[in-house]
Structure 1
Amino acid sequence: MSSKVAIALCGLLMASFAVRAAVGAQPAQAVRADGQALFKARCAQCHEPAIERAPGLEQINKMTPQQIFGVLHGVMAPMAAGLSEAEKQAIANYLGARPSASAPPPISAEPTKAPPAPSATATSVMSSTGVNIPNLPTAPTSEWRAYKGNYASQNYAALDQINKDTVKGLHVAWRQSLSPQQVRQALGSSAEPSGNNQTTPLMIGGMVYYSSGVGGVVALDAVTGKVVWHVDSPVATAVPKPRATVSSADAPPRGDGAAPIEGSATRAIAYWTDGKGDDRIIAQIGNRYLTALNARTGKRYPDFGVNGQVDLRQGLEKGGEAFAWLTGPTVIVRGVVIIGTAIEDINDDRRVTVIDNPRGDVRGIDVRTGKQLWVWRSIPQAGEFGNDTWEEGSWKYTGGTNVWAPMSGDEELGLVYLPESSPSNDWYGGKRRGANLFSDSIVALDARTGKRAWHFQTVHHDIWDYDLPSAPVLADIVVDGRPIKALAQTSKQAYLYVLDRTTGKPVWPIIEHPAPAGDAPGEWYSPTQPMPLDSHGMPFAYDQQGVSASDLMDFTPELHEEAVKILDQYAYGPVYFPVVVDGKGKGVGKKGSLHMPTSSGGTNWPGAALDPETNILYVPSITATRSAKLGPPPAGSDTFLVRKDAARPDGPQGLPLFKPPYGRLVAIDLNKGELKWTVANGDGPRNHPALKGLNLPPLGEPGRVGPLVTKSLVFMGEGMTQSPPGAGGKKFRAFDKATGRVVWETTLDGETTGVPMTYAWKGKQYIVVPIGGPGHPGEFVALTIN
Structure 2
Amino acid sequence: MKMATQHLKLCVIPLLIALTRAPAAFAQAEAYSGVTSSMLLFQEHCAVCHGENLEGASQGTPLRGELRHGDSMAQIIASTTDGYEELGMPGWRDALSADQIRNIAMYVLETRANVDYVTSNFEAPLSIPAGVIQSEVHDFRLETVVDDLDPLPFSIEPLSDGRLLVTEKTKGVRIVGADGALSDLVRGTPQAYDDIYRLESRLDIERGAGWLFDVALHPNYQENGWIYLHFSERCTDCNDMSRETGRPVSMNKLVRARIEDGEWTDEETIWRAEMEHYSRASDVAAGGRVAFDDAGHVYFSIGIKGGSNYRGIQDLSTPWGKIHRVNEDGGIPNDNPFADQDGVYRSIYTYGHRSPQGLEFDAETGALWGSEHGPRGGDEINRLLPGRNYGWPLYSLGMDYDGTPVEYGTDLGITFELSDIEQPVVDFTPSPAVSSFIISTSEKFPEWEGDFLVGSLKARSLFRIGIEHNRLVYRETLFEGVGRIRDIEQNDEGDIFLLLEHGAGGRIVRLVPPDEEVGPLASQAAEPPRSRPDEETLSDLPTTDWLTNGGGLFNRNFSALTEINTENVNRLGPVWRTHLEGSGVGRKYSGEAQPIVHEGVMYVITGADDVFALDVETGEILWRSSAHLTDEISTICCGWTSRGVGFGKDKIFVGQLDGVLKALDKDSGEEVWSIQAEAWEEGYTITSAPLYFQGMVITGFAGGEFAARGRVKAYSADDGSLLWTFYTVPAPGEFGHDTWPADDDAWRTGGGTVWHTPAVDPELGLIYFSTGNPGPDYNGAVRAGDNLFTVSIVALDVYTGRYRWHFQEVHHDLWDYDAPNPVVLFDLDYNGVPRKGLAQAGKTGWLYILDRTNGEPLVGIEERAVPQEPRQATAATQPYPVGDPFVTQTLDVAPEGYRLINNGAVFTPFWEEPVVLRRGDANWPPSAVDPESGVMYICAGERQAAYSVREDLEQVESGQRYSGGRMRFAPIPVTGIVSAMDLRTNRKLWSQRWPSRCYSGLVATAGDLLFAGRNDGRLTALDRRDGSKLWEFTTDSGVNAPAAVFSHNGKQYIAVFSAGSLLGRTTRGDSVWLFTLLDGEREGGPLDH
Residues 125, 510 of structure 1: alpha-carbon distance in 2 compared, 3 angstrom cutoff: farther
Cα drift, residue 199 of structure 1: 1.1
Partner AA of 2:942 in structure 1: T
Matching residue's letter, 1:230 = R
Following TM superposition, by how much is the alpha carbon of 1:637 offset from its aligned partner in structure 2, in angstroms? 6.9
Task: Name the structure 2 match of 1:298.
Answer: 669
Shift of 1:125: 6.5
Q: Which position in structure 2 is the counterpart of 1:542?
A: 886
Report the CA distance between 1:719 and its aligned residue: 3.8
Query: Is residue 435–residue 460 contact of structure 1 (8 Å, CA) maintained in 2?
Result: yes
Q: Deviations over 1:750-777 (max 9, x none)?
A: 2211111111112332212222334432
Give the aligned partner of residue 96 of structure 1.
none
Structure 1 position 499, deviation (Å): 0.9
Q: Distance in 2 between matches of 1:107 and 1:413?
A: 13
Matched residue, 1:271: 647
Please tell me the residue identity of whatever aligns with 1:147: N
Q: Helix, strand or coil for the counterpart of 1:228?
A: strand
CA distance in 1 between partners of 2:775 and 2:641 (Å): 25
Matched, 1:673 2:992: no
Query: Contact between 2:1003 and 2:1012, CA under 8 Å: does it hold in 1?
Result: no
Instruction: Point out the more displaced range, 612-621 or 571-580.
Output: 571-580
Structure 2 SS opposite 1:362: strand
SS of equivalent to 1:459 = coil
Structure 2 CA distance for aligned equivalents of residues 234 and 377 of structure 1:
29
**1:679 offset after TM fit, Å?**
2.5
- Larger RCO (CA within 8 A; separation ≥ 6): 1
- 2:1076 alignment partner in structure 1: 784
Cα 1:525–1:569 change in 2 (3 A) is closer
Is the contact made by 1:379 and 1:395 (CA closer than 8 Å) also made in structure 2?
Answer: no
Q: Whole-Å Cα distance in 2 between the matches of residues 364 and 645 of structure 1?
A: 34
Pick aligned residue for 2:838 from 480, 483, 487? 487
Matched, 1:595 2:917: yes
Partner of 1:216: 610
Give, in whole Å, the separation in 2 of the partners of 1:635 and 1:379. 20
Q: Structure 1 pair 149/200, CA: closer, same or farther in 2 (3 Å)?
A: same
- What does the per-residue CA deviation read over 1:328-370, in whole Å, with 9 as the maximum and x for residues that have no partner? 2222233221121111515xxxxxxxxxx23122211111231
* Mapping for residues 402-481 of structure 1, pairs under 5 Å: 402-481=753-832
Number of equivalenced pairs: 555
- Higher-strand-fraction structure: 2
**1:176-187 equivalent positions in 2, closer than 5 A:** 176-177=578-579, 179-180=580-581
> Per the alignment, do residues 102 and 416 of structure 1 end up closer, same or farther by CA in structure 2, a change over 3 Å counting?
farther
Q: Is the 8 A contact 2:684 2:708 kept in 1?
A: no
Alpha carbons 2:992, 2:1027 under 8 Å: kept:
no
Distance 1:620 1:285, change over 3 A: closer
C-alpha RMSD of the superposition: 3.7
Deviation at 1:579, TM superposition (A): 4.0
Deviations 1:173-209 (A, max 9, x none): 11123x326xx7xxxxx97696621111100100000
Alignment partners' CA distance in 1, 2:831 and 2:954: 59
Q: 2:986 aligned with 1:626, yes or no?
A: no
Alpha-carbon spacing, 1:323–1:391, altered in 2? closer, same or farther (3 Å): closer
Per the alignment, do residues 166 and 388 of structure 1 end up closer, same or farther by CA in structure 2, a change over 3 Å counting? same
Q: CA deviation at 1:492?
A: 0.7
Does the aligned pair in 2 maintain the 1:407–1:416 contact within 8 Å? Answer: yes
- Separation of aligned partners in 2, 1:283 and 1:432: 34
Q: Indicate the residue corresponding to 2:734 in structure 1.
A: 384
Gaps of 5+ in 1: 1-98, 115-120, 128-134, 185-189, 236-241, 250-262, 274-278, 302-307, 314-318, 347-356, 534-538, 550-562, 657-661, 685-700, 721-728
TM-score by length of 2: 0.47
Distance 1:160 1:667 in 2: 20
Report the counterpart of residue 375 of structure 1 in structure 2: 725
1:246 Cα offset (Å): 5.2
Q: 1:332 aligns with which of 689, 692, 695?
A: 692
**SS of match in other structure, 2:671:** coil
In structure 2, which of residues 997, 1000, 1014 is the aligned counterpart of residue 705 of structure 1? 1000
SS at match of 1:298: coil
Between Structure 1 and Structure 2, whose CA radius of gyration is higher? Answer: 2
Q: Give the match for residue 878 of structure 2.
A: 529
SS in 1 for 2:742: helix
Partner Cα distance (1:459, 1:675) in 2:
21
Q: Which amino acid aligns with 1:610?
A: V
**Corresponding residue of 2:43:** none
Q: Would you say the 8 A contact 1:546–1:577 is kept in 2?
A: no
TM-superposed CA distance for 1:647, in Å, is 2.6
% identity of equivalent residues = 28
The match for 1:309 is 674
- Please say if residues 554 and 760 of structure 2, whose CA atoms lie closer than 8 Å, have aligned partners that are also in contact: yes
Contact 1:707 1:714 in 2 (8 A): no
Pick one of 149, 157, 169 that aligns with 2:559: 157
The alpha carbon displacement at 1:643 in A equals 5.8
Is the 8 Å Cα contact of residues 655 and 688 (structure 2) preserved in structure 1? no
Q: Tell me the equivalent position of 2:89.
A: none
The Cα of 1:323 is off from its aligned counterpart by: 5.5
Match of 2:63 in 1: none
Q: CA deviation at 1:212?
A: 3.3
Q: TM-score by structure 1 length?
A: 0.64
Q: How far apart are 1:163 and its partner, in Å?
A: 1.2
TM-fit CA distance, 1:465: 0.6
**How do 1:513-528 residues align onto structure 2 when only pairs under 5 Å count?**
513-519=864-870, 521=871, 523-528=872-877
1:172 aligns with: 574
Pairwise CA distance, 1:122: 13
Match for 1:503: what amino acid? N
CA contact (8 A) 2:555 2:759 kept: yes
Instruction: Report if the CA contact (8 A) 2:657-2:680 is conserved.
Output: no
Q: Is the 8 A contact 1:511 1:531 kept in 2?
A: yes
Cα gap change, 1:331 to 1:479, in 2 (>3 Å)? same
Distance 1:730 1:681, change over 3 A: farther
* 1:363 match: 713
Secondary structure of 1:623's partner?
strand
Q: Which residue of 1 aligns with 2:899?
A: 569
Judge conservation of contact 2:686–2:700 (CA < 8 Å) in 1: no
Q: Is the 8 A contact 2:736 2:788 kept in 1?
A: yes
Deviation at 1:464, TM superposition (A): 0.7
Distance change >3 Å, CA 781–CA 650, structure 1 → 2: same
> Separation in 1 of the partners of 2:802 and 2:540?
25
SS in 2 for 1:151: coil
| Distance in 2 of aligned mates of 1:102 and 1:430 | 49
Cα 1:464/1:126, change in 2 over 3 Å: farther
Distance verdict in 2 for CA 1:644–1:389, change over 3 Å? closer
1:142 aligns with 2:544: yes
Shift of 1:454: 0.9
Match of 1:730 in 2: 1017
The CA distance in 1 between the partners of 2:961 and 2:753, in whole Å, is 22
SS in 2 for 1:531: strand
Compared CA separation, residues 233 and 124, structure 1 to 2 (3 A): same
In 2, Cα distance between the equivalents of 1:383 and 1:776?
Answer: 48
- The residue aligned with 2:977 is 664
Cα distance in 1 for residues equivalent to 2:632 and 2:748: 18
The 3 A distance-change label for structure 1 pair 603 and 126 is: farther
CA distance in structure 2 between the partners assigned to 1:174 and 1:451 by the alignment = 46
Measure, in 2, the Cα distance between the counterparts of 1:126 and 1:502.
14
Q: Deviations over 1:12-50 (max 9, x none)?
A: xxxxxxxxxxxxxxxxxxxxxxxxxxxxxxxxxxxxxxx
Structure 2 unpaired stretches of 5+ = 1-339, 352-386, 396-406, 410-416, 424-536, 1061-1065, 1079-1089
Report if the CA contact (8 A) 1:733-1:744 is conserved. Answer: yes
In the alignment, is the contact (CA less than 8 A) between 2:705 and 2:962 conserved in 1?
Answer: no
CA distance in 2, matches of 1:327, 1:733: 25
The one of 644, 647, 650 equivalent to 2:968 is 647
* In 2: Cα distance, 1:449 partner to 1:412 partner: 15
How far apart, CA to CA, are the structure 2 residues paired with 1:595 and 1:373? Answer: 43
- 1:564 is displaced (CA, Å) by 6.3
SS at match of 1:397: helix
What letter is aligned with 2:879? P
Q: In structure 2, how many angstroms separate the alpha carbons of the residues matched to 1:374 and 1:490? A: 27
Q: 1:607: Cα distance to partner? A: 2.4
